């Protein structure tokens, strides 16, 4: 085979001189241009995780529930009775920044394929979206396109979108984040499929959309900074085909259950190249493909274009020899194109042929094993200023009512119903808690009394101010949201979004966040079973806030234990689990009222967090409480307001000042706090549970009709009487909270 005429073509493909030398060593010769292209995409950060793999090993990945951890298309956890949950989260950030509809739609399609590739039927989706300020028309364009793309794909295939989060901050103005999470069920007797190639001579088949020129070099596009030049590469953004996706789900699940398949793999990033080499490497075999047999939808496509295309809704199979006809019949029934394009070999090579001519021949294991790097790491200089900021210098507001309304109108806190109303969240008929009623979405398991809850969380502002603490807090909040819904947290899938890892400050943030996630997951017994790393999220040299998104699953053994956040009955006692420490560092209050992102973020005591969650869950499972809602962005005042709005009821609250200012007490964002409401006759039993666990608990008020009143016993030299800081009709709270995002989107 001839070497490329351009001796430095590897530079144009994003490879270093050292990596080119490694490739020559693997091959024992100089690569040709096609072979070099295969290595360039597989050794990109997007496919090869070369800057992240060394640190991902710090995460806990084993546990009593774990059936499949990282390394396959998705993770699997056992929920007993022969049933299991499959879940995964992935990013589609750069594509969504360029073509928001297509980028978000293909993000949903890709994550759904990861689920059914394991043999599980997708049952729900969640999302984590981040954009710049909605006062910017371009950010509104991005949000509209991304939500429409997710809705368009998910609604077409019939998978309900049951939850998620949307945040807005200037750090995402040049590089939005679109993370999609999907979950599926494996039922009794369902086989778990694997992405392996084995059995010399077994045929390799491709099914789904014929390969086109869309998405070529998409992996390389996602492995670099988003610049004005790269943003013009719309050819790198593939289009989704949800109608084909829906048929592909049914055909693949039937084929897996038929027993005719040896292995199955989605053609995701790097398309046919990644699926073929990864299957061969996992199975310790080789794969030979005949380029001429691969179905294409455009004339004159070169081997380079065919192998690097990221056309969506395509799958690769290894089929048991002699059973090709049965597999073809299944796909023909579902009107999904399928063709035999190669065979399994015993030499460990990915061999590409055009007719009888070999056009590329590389070791599959080398292709699937990018070099591992650990760049320099350095604590960012900005932390010297933020960590020493004196929060006491912030003036106390004159009107706390006004502040509460401003916070309710903040897009980070306001109702996200503008988005989730576009989703068919009732598809499938098993959605028990739709978006907006709880911090977690809940799906029932048919023919059982069980349900599963899912949450997605990350306060990236806290991660910016302290990546380790902020990442741990994301795990804690995800678990807290599950517990408040009545679910016992069991596992995590993480979507790790950061800037350029070759910059020491960014790599330090990533390393710290990994440690924070690991610490929290160990304490809460929620191992990480899979996920995604997305680097190079920056524009004009400035990175996004570090954003380690945590997707988590929890198990509800009895549907009667499902709990939501709304107040239910006038006269119920309102209780706070946890302590008000008045921590305002990194709070929504500082951002909205004072335009500041600074200070030390709230301290997280993971042992206290675990005990608080245990008390909440035990109380819910005993049927003591009518509502549960965790305190997060906006603090205690926002938590109470949301409980009132959702329940169309008010509350009368009295708080001890505990040495705190009114703003700190109302809007501070201390962790490990949950607001419960319950009948008065159950209060003694709740106190006993809290005492047994060593968890702080205080009664702070009662549910009433009409309005929310919050009084604080300031007890200063001027007065010993409670001072009313909040007094607002619930209807005014609701109008502000519900109308904020819709009003901005219509502007």
User: How many whole angstroms separate alpha carbon 635 and alpha carbon 591?
Assistant: 13
Q: Is the pLDDT of residue 234 over 70?
A: no
pLDDT of residue 116: 97
Put the strands of the sheet holding 674-678 in their side by side order: 627-630, 674-678, 573-577, 697-704, 650-656, 707-713, 723-729
Contact predicate 159/231, CB 8 Å: no
Contact predicate 133/139, CB 8 Å: yes
Does 9-43+193-368 match 53-191+416-561 in CATH topology?
no
User: How many whole angstroms separate alpha carbon 669 and alpha carbon 585?
Assistant: 8
pLDDT of residue 345: 98
Do β-strands 349-354 and 286-290 pair in parallel, antiparallel, or remain unpaired? parallel
pLDDT of residue 14: 85
pLDDT of residue 1: 37
Q: Is the pLDDT of residue 7 over 80?
A: no
What the block records as the tokens of 670 is: 């201390």
| pTM: predicted TM-score of the whole model, two decimal places | 0.95
What is the CA 125 to chain-centroid distance, rounded? Answer: 10
Write the DSSP assignment of 613-626 as a string of letters. HHHHHHHHHTT--S
Q: What confidence tens digit (pLDDT) does each residue in 724-735 have?
A: 999 999 999 999
Contact predicate 277/360, CB 8 Å: no
Find the mean pLDDT for residues 303-323.
Answer: 95
Q: Is the pLDDT of residue 236 over 80?
A: no
Q: What confidence tens digit (pLDDT) does each residue in 557-591 have?
A: 999 999 999 999 999 999 999 999 999 999 999 99
CA-wise closest residue to 230 among 99, 101, 131, 107: 99
Write the DSSP assignment of 586-602 as a string of letters. T-HHHHHHH----SPPP
Find the mean pLDDT for residues 342-361.
Answer: 97
pLDDT of residue 223: 47
Q: Is the pLDDT of residue 154 over 50?
A: yes
User: How many whole angstroms separate alpha carbon 451 and alpha carbon 556?
Assistant: 5
Residue 275 CA neighbour count, 13 Å, CB half: 30
Contact predicate 185/150, CB 8 Å: no
Q: What confidence tens digit (pLDDT) does each residue in 171-197 have?
A: 999 999 999 999 999 987 889 999 999
pLDDT of residue 216: 79
Find the mean pLDDT for residues 338-365.
Answer: 97
CA-wise closest residue to 604 among 506, 517, 496, 667: 517
Angle, CA 109 vertex, CA 340 and CA 257 arms, to 5°: 50
pLDDT of residue 679: 98
Contact predicate 159/427, CB 8 Å: yes
Percent of the chain with pLDDT over 70: 95
What the block records as the tokens of 100 is: 């928001």
Which 8-state DSSP code applies to residue 603? P
Pinpoint the alpha helices (H) of 43-136.
45-48, 53-56, 93-98, 100-116
| Banded model confidence at residue 228, pLDDT cuts 50, 70, 90 | low
Angle, CA 480 vertex, CA 687 and CA 169 arms, to 5°: 135
Q: Is the pLDDT of residue 316 over 80?
A: yes
- The structural domains of the chain, with segments of one domain joined by +, span 9-43+193-368, 53-191+416-561, 563-746
CA-wise closest residue to 418 among 144, 157, 93: 144
CA distances from 474 to 71, 289, 468, 496, 668 (A): 23, 44, 10, 12, 17
Residue 235 CA neighbour count, 13 Å, CB half: 8
Q: What confidence tens digit (pLDDT) does each residue in 324-336 have?
A: 999 999 999 999 9
| Banded model confidence at residue 721, pLDDT cuts 50, 70, 90 | confident
Do β-strands 203-208 and 314-319 pair in parallel, antiparallel, or remain unpaired? antiparallel
Give residues with Cβ within 8 angstroms of 458, minimum separation 6: 128, 165, 470, 471, 474, 547, 548, 549, 550
Find the mean pLDDT for residues 621-644.
Answer: 98
Find the mean pLDDT for residues 318-322.
Answer: 98
Mean pLDDT taken over the chain: 94
Q: Is the pLDDT of residue 622 over 80?
A: yes
Helix 100-116 vs helix 137-157: angle between axes, to the nearest 10 degrees? Answer: 30
Q: Which helix (H) or strand (E) holds 333?
A: helix 324-333
| Banded model confidence at residue 3, pLDDT cuts 50, 70, 90 | very low
pLDDT of residue 224: 54
Q: Is the pLDDT of residue 623 over 80?
A: yes
Find the mean pLDDT for residues 324-352.
Answer: 98
User: Regarding the domain delimited by 9-43+193-368, which CATH topology (the fold level of the hierarchy) does it fall under?
Assistant: Phosphoribosyl-aminoimidazole Synthetase; Chain A, domain 2 (3.90.650)
User: How many whole angstroms separate alpha carbon 722 and alpha carbon 346?
Assistant: 80
Give the dihedral of Cα atoms 153, 155, 159, 161; nearest 10 deg: 90
CA distances from 203 to 215, 566, 615 (A): 26, 56, 55
Q: What confidence tens digit (pLDDT) does each residue in 201-216 have?
A: 999 999 999 999 887 7
Residue 201 CB coordination number (10 Å): 10
Which one is the CATH code of 563-746: 3.30.910.20, 3.20.20.100, 3.90.650.10, 3.40.50.720?
A: 3.90.650.10
Q: What confidence tens digit (pLDDT) does each residue in 71-125 have?
A: 899 999 999 988 999 999 999 999 999 999 999 999 999 999 999 999 999 999 9
What the block records as the tokens of 414 is: 């306001």
Q: Is the pLDDT of residue 219 over 70?
A: no
Q: Is the pLDDT of residue 716 over 60?
A: no
Contact predicate 344/197, CB 8 Å: yes
Q: Is the pLDDT of residue 225 over 90?
A: no
Find the mean pLDDT for residues 252-265.
Answer: 97
Which one is the CATH code of 53-191+416-561: 1.10.10.10, 3.30.1330.10, 3.90.280.10, 3.10.580.10?
A: 3.30.1330.10
Which residues are part of the catalytic machinery? 46, 92
């Amino acid at each position: 085979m001839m070497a490329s005429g351009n001796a430095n073509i590897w530079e144009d493909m994003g490879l270093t001189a050292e990596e080119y030398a490694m490739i020559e060593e693997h091959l024992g010769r100089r690569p040709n241009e096609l072979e070099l292209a295969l290595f360039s995409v597989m050794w990109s950060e997007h496919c090869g995780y070369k800057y992240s793999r060394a640190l991902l090993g710090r995460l806990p990945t084993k546990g009593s529930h774990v059936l499949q951890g990282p390394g396959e298309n998705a993770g699997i956890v056992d929920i007993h009775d022969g049933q299991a949950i499959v879940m995964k989260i992935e990013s589609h950030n750069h594509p969504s920044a360029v073509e928001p509809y297509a980028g978000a739609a293909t993000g949903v399609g890709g994550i759904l394929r990861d689920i059914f590739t394991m043999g599980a039927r997708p049952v729900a989706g969640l999302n984590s979206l981040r954009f710049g300020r909605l006062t910017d028309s371009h950010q509104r364009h991005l949000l509209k396109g991304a939500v429409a793309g997710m809705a368009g794909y998910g609604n077409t295939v019939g998978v309900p979108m049951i939850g998620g989060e949307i945040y807005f901050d200037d750090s995402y103005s040049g590089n939005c984040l679109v993370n999609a999470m999907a979950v599926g069920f494996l039922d009794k007797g369902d086989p778990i499929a694997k992405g392996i190639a084995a059995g010399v001579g077994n045929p390799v088949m491709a099914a789904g959309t014929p390969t086109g020129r869309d998405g070529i070099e998409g992996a390389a596009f996602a492995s670099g900074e988003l610049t004005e030049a790269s943003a013009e590469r719309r050819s790198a953004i593939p289009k989704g085909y949800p109608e084909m996706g829906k048929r592909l789900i049914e055909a693949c699940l039937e084929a897996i259950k038929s027993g005719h398949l040896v292995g199955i793999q989605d053609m995701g990033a790097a398309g046919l190249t990644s699926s073929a080499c990864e299957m061969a490497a996992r199975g310790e075999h080789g794969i030979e493909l005949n380029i001429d047999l691969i179905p294409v939808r455009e004339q004159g496509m070169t081997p380079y274009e065919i192998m690097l295309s990221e056309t969506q809704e395509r799958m690769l199979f290894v089929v048991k020899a002699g059973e090709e006809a049965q597999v073809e019949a299944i796909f023909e029934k579902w009107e999904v194109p399928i063709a035999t394009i190669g065979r399994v070999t015993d030499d460990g090579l990915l061999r590409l042929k055009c007719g009888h001519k070999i056009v590329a021949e590389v070791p599959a294991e080398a292709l699937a094993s990018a070099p591992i790097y650990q760049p320099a790491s350095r604590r960012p200089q900005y932390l010297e200023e933020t960590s020493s900021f004196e929060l006491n210098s912030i003036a106390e507001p004159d009107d706390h009512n006004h502040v509460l309304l401003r916070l309710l109108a903040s897009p980070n806190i306001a109702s996200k119903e503008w988005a989730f109303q576009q989703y068919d969240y009732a598809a499938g008929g098993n959605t028990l808690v739709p978006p907006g009623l709880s911090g977690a979405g809940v799906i029932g398991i048919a023919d059982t009394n069980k349900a599963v809850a899912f949450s997605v969380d990350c306060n990236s502002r806290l991660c910016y101010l302290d990546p380790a603490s902020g990442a741990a807090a994301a795990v804690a909040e995800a678990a807290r949201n599950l517990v408040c819904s009545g679910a016992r947290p069991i596992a995590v899938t993480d979507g790790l979004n950061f800037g350029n890892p070759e910059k020491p400050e960014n790599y330090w943030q990533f390393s710290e966040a990994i440690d924070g996630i690991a610490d929290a997951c160990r304490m809460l017994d929620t191992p990480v079973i899979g996920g995604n790393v997305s680097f190079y999220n920056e524009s004009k040299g400035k990175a996004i806030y570090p954003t380690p998104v945590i997707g988590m699953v929890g198990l509800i053994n009895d549907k009667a234990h499902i709990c939501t956040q709304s107040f239910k009955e006038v006269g119920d006692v309102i209780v706070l689990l946890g302590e008000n420490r008045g921590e305002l560092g990194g709070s929504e209050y500082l951002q909205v009222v004072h335009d500041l992102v600074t200070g030390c973020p709230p301290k997280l005591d993971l042992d206290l967090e675990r005990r608080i969650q245990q008390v909440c869950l035990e109380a819910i499972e005993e049927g003591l409480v009518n509502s549960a809602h965790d305190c997060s962005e906006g603090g205690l005042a926002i938590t109470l307001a949301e409980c009132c709005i959702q329940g169309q009821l008010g509350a009368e609250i009295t708080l001890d000042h505990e040495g705190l200012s009114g703003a700190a007490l109302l809007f501070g964002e201390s962790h490990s706090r949950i607001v419960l409401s319950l009948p008065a006759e159950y209060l003694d039993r709740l106190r006993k549970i809290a005492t047994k666990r060593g968890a702080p608990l205080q009664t702070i008020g009662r549910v009433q009709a009409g309005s929310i009143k919050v009084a604080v016993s300031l007890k200063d030299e001027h007065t010993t009487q409670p001072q009313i800081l909040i007094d607002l009709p619930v209807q005014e709270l609701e109008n502000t909270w519900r109308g904020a995002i819709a009003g901005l989107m219509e502007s």
